[in-house]
């Protein structure tokens, strides 16, 4: 981050994980920096993502108002689908693949945000 900052990078985009946040007490859909989950007791992936978020918050605060202005944006996709580099699919990816290929004629009610790899790029 320091090297990017010193080189004058204008925007840093961090791809985080839905596991790094928790809903606020009012149950709104707006998530802020205050919705960061506790990293203790988490698996290594989630722990690393939460700690990275903490680092970015600290970096943002320590560099606020300085001569170089680097925007830090965090995107939090809930589930990213295909293309896959292996034959392993988790259940949701398999279900979507089957639905898109016409093998299944219905898709069960599923409340989760889905985006494609192309959406992320």
- The model's confidence at residue 111, banded by pLDDT at 50, 70 and 90, is low
pLDDT digits (tens, 9 = 90+) for 16-72: 887 787 755 566 666 777 778 888 888 898 899 989 999 999 998 888 878 788 888
High-pLDDT (> 70) share of the chain, %: 79
pLDDT for 24 = 55
pLDDT for 116 = 73
Long-range contacts of 66-70 (CB under 8 A, 24+ apart): 68/5, 68/6, 68/8, 69/10, 70/4, 70/5, 70/9, 70/10, 70/11, 70/12
Residue 4 phi/psi, 5° resolution? Answer: -65, -40
């Amino acid at each position: 981050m320091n090297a990017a900052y010193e080189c004058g990078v204008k925007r840093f985009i961090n791809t985080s994980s839905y596991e790094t946040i928790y809903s606020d007490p009012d149950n709104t859909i707006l998530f802020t920096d205050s919705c960061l989950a506790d990293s203790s007791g988490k698996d290594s992936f989630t722990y690393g993502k939460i700690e990275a978020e903490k680092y970015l918050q600290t970096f943002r605060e320590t560099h606020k108002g300085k001569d170089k202005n680097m925007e830090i944006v965090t995107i939090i996709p809930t589930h990213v689908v295909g293309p896959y580099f292996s034959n392993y699919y988790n259940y949701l990816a398999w279900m979507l693949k089957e639905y898109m290929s016409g093998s299944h004629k219905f898709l069960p009610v599923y409340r989760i945000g889905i985006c494609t790899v192309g959406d992320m790029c």
